[in-house]
A and B are shown apart, each in its own frame.
Chain A
């Protein structure tokens, strides 16, 4: 197994575990954590392909990861604000009980 394949396998596992958490856990914050894990798996793929690809001097992989980190930060801030707003409105953050948008 080459180092590239090892990195891709680690990132595939991170993606699968993040997906499993996002669809099976009941708490809204854990769903956000699962999404962050999936984004990190994608970032790891970018870095692995940049490092072992044919043109690492072009820095495209690093730039993609930096921009995706900034977008992940924005997404986490808005997502957690939504969780807090829903908790204030419905007094729960259990996703099975939050079924409608209309309060």
Chain B
């Protein structure tokens, strides 16, 4: 196991823990961008270069910006005075610790995991493109349809309501 992988893993874990422990939402979004960058660095070290750069483009470039815009649009950029945790947070912490213990135990004690490291596979963008256009063409088309539907749905949901056609009968 290379030292670079250990360092990026530690940075990713610390950033992920920071996301969920800070009070200010803008700081949380920035720590989330660091987490996604760390995950992209892990992908690059696992010789999945295309996925690593796609992660940076999609998550750090698009989703982080989208989340920052949503934070500013809902005016929740300031730190709240009240508690940031829900009423039943103790049970949530206990369940997540249990989940991590179970997963970690399974990973460390499983006999079926391959032991020896294999040689790095040859994945070029050409290979990925040929697979996308050949074997995986139907899922690709369906994902295009899903993205179009999600985009139209998001625009309709976030559209400003017309006060005259307000179905609750109130003038806003």
Contact = CB atoms under 8 A, between A and B. Distances in A.
Interface residues on A, range: 35 or more
Contacts, number: 236
A26 B23 CA distance: 11
B29 to A, nearest CB: 7
A6 B157 contact: no
Contact of B139 (A33, A51, A67): A67
B46 A29 contact: no
Q: B interface, by DSSP: helix, strand, loop or mixed?
A: helix
Contacts of A75: 150
Contacts of B35: 14, 37, 40
A85 B161 CA distance: 9
B111 interface: no
Contact of B118 (A56, A74, A83): A56
Nearest to B127: A59
B95 A8 contact: no
Contact of A56 (B32, B121, B150): B121
Q: Which 5 A-B pairs have the closest CB atoms?
A: A74-B150, A56-B121, A16-B100, A23-B92, A12-B103
Interface of B: 1-2, 5-6, 9, 12-13, 16-17, 19-20, 25, 28-29, 32, 35-36, 39, 42-43, 46-48, 50-51, 54-55, 58-59, 62-63, 66-67, 69-71, 73-76, 83-87, 89, 92-93, 95-97, 99-100, 103-104, 107-108, 113-115, 117-118, 120-123, 127-128, 131-132, 136, 139-140, 143, 146-147, 149-151, 153-155, 157-158, 160-161, 168
22 contacts: A1-B108, A14-B16, A16-B100, A24-B89, A27-B76, A36-B63, A40-B35, A44-B39, A47-B42, A47-B48, A54-B118, A67-B140, A69-B55, A73-B63, A76-B67, A78-B153, A80-B154, A81-B157, A83-B74, A84-B158, A87-B74, A87-B75
